[in-house]
A = this chain, B = another copy of it.
Amino acid sequence: MPVRLDTRDPAFKDRFAALLGAKREAAADVEAAVRAIVDDVRAHGDAALVALTEKFDRLDLGAAGAAALRVTSAEIAAAVAACDPKDIEALTFARDRIEAYHRRQLPGDQRFTDALGVELGYRWTPVEAAGLYVPGGTAAYPSSVLMNAVPAKVAGVARLVMVVPAPGGKLAPLVLAAAHLSGVDEIYRVGGAQAVAALAYGTDTIAPVDKIVGPGNAYVAAAKRIVFGKVGIDMIAGPSEVLIIADATAHPDWIAADLLAQAEHDTAAQSILITTDAALAAAVETAVDAQLATLPREKIAGASWRDHGAVILVETLDQAVGLADQVAAEHLELAVADPAPLADKIRHAGAIFVGHHTPEAIGDYVAGSNHVLPTARSARFSSGLGVLDFMKRTSLLRCGPEQLAALGPAAVTLAEAEGLGAHARSVSLRLSSKSPVESSGAE
């Protein structure tokens, strides 16, 4: 049974805080185990990868050893051929839309000359090599491959490397097809902390990358946290969540399906309904129970709804906005008669799905926007995955003698105030001595 809250309840504030603060995941303490794996891969490279893959994925790479980690182009072609053409068509449709959307995220460079004649600006360039972690088994989602790989390629990443565990040797054909469609350059059948370590530090078989993205279990998350700094990483994803704000115009069956779409991901997922309409709340709860019975992933979705679901009654939609900003949900659906003004008021959410005909699942697959979004209230400070995650900004500065004369004295003052004599000298020497030859060609 989901939690039921009502803002008119005097204890509402505390009960809502408890809902927000409730731990949905047991914090597995895998840190020490992961450190040992990372150190092993750093020290022993391919040999460690082969041994760990045999141990954790029950995959014997045979005489070829680490060379067999690479998924061959023949295997990829065979996988694509094995897929249902309808699935390939849908993936291609999704890829094209994701690509079109993300092209709009390509940032512009800035170059300008200020009033003093100082040339300033910055320039965006792609990360050279990126690694994409893809979970194996039931969590191997081809749509996630597209969502991670396409923005990297739009950014201009020249070398995109995918790692995916192949438990017992098995790889999902549609996952390989998605990688192929989105331009992944290399695929290795290796997973877990050992795959993250290989991407960060490199082995003879897997050259290191500069940035690692993609979801994974507690081991993968811990490994990403450990290698952060050596390489860039994306966010550490927590269990998924949806918050739906609905009024009396919402369709109970649709809302129930949306709540369950979130719940079916994971028993730790969270689905919350906030509504101004008590009758809708009751109808949705009834519909959830009815739909659960015919759901393939009934057990997972049922546990999530029972343990983490919530139905919150509010008096006004403005109250709902205030609560939604506190939740800072990964996904926020606005299933109300007039959703646009409500969307404008929201400050913290990973993605907003506006209106009755925009179920979150559309965003998961084919809208074009990214489905990798900040979880666990991190939409307060972070964004969904995008092109900028695969680019970096270099600032540019150019002074001539006049500009240095204009800026220099203040720099010398501050350097001296900070006790940095060589800083001051590097400016003052140039203010007093004769200039060397420099061409002043326009850039």
Which residues of A does B touch, CB under 8 Å? 84, 86-87, 89-91, 93-94, 100-101, 104-105, 107, 110, 112, 114, 118-120, 122, 125, 127-128, 138, 141-143, 174, 210-211, 225, 228-229, 231-232, 235-236, 238, 249-251, 253-254, 257-258, 260-261, 263-265, 291, 295-297, 301, 337-340, 343-344, 346-370, 373-374, 376, 378-384, 386, 388, 392-401, 403-404, 407-411, 413-415, 417-427, 429-430, 433, 435-439, 441-443
Q: State how many angstroms separate the Cβ of A143 from the closest Cβ of chain B.
A: 6
Q: Which of B337, B361, B442 contacts A415 (CB 8 A)?
A: B361
Do B91 and A414 touch across chains, with their CB atoms under 8 A apart? yes
| Contact present for B250 and A436 (CB under 8 Å) | yes
Q: Say whether, besides A364-B423, A394-B379, A429 and B254 are in contact (CB < 8 Å).
A: yes
Asked if B296 and A421 make an inter-chain contact with CB atoms under 8 angstroms apart, the answer reads yes
Looking at the assembled complex, report how far the CB atom of A109 sits from the nearest CB atom of chain B, in whole angstroms.
Answer: 11
CB proximity of A404 to chain B, nearest CB, Å: 5
Interchain CA distance A15-B414 in the complex, whole Å: 38
Is there an interface contact between A128 and B257, defined as CB atoms closer than 8 Å?
no
A357's contact among B401, B424, B441, by CB below 8 Å, is which?
B401
Report B-chain residues with C-beta under 8 Å of the C-beta of A397: 351-354, 358, 362-363, 367, 369
Q: Would you call A261 and B437 a contact (CB within 8 A)?
A: no
In the assembled complex, 14 residue pairs joining A and B whose CB atoms fall closer than 8 Å, in A order, are A114-B368, A142-B414, A228-B228, A253-B429, A254-B433, A260-B422, A261-B423, A301-B422, A348-B392, A355-B400, A357-B401, A358-B404, A360-B426, A380-B392
Given contacts A120-B369, A261-B425, A382 and B392 within 8 Å (CB-CB)? yes
Query: Once bound together, how far apart are the Cα atoms of A339 and B440, in whole Å?
Result: 9
Do A441 and B399 have beta carbons less than 8 Å apart?
Answer: no
Q: When the two chains form their complex, are residues A441 and B100 in contact, meaning their CB atoms are under 8 A apart?
A: no
Contacts A359-B427, A361-B423, A397-B363; A236 near B232 (Cβ below 8 A): no
Cα A38 to Cα B351 in complex, Å, equals 32
Residues of B within 8 A of A258 (CB): 426
List B contacts of A301 (CB < 8 A).
422
- C-alpha spacing A361/B301, complex, angstroms: 58
Contacts A114-B100, A291-B425 given: A125-B420 contact, CB under 8 Å?
A: no
Is A420 touching B297 in the complex (CB atoms < 8 A)?
A: yes
Known: A349-B394, A362-B404. 7 other contacts (CB 8 A): A104-B112, A249-B436, A264-B420, A354-B398, A362-B399, A365-B410, A367-B397
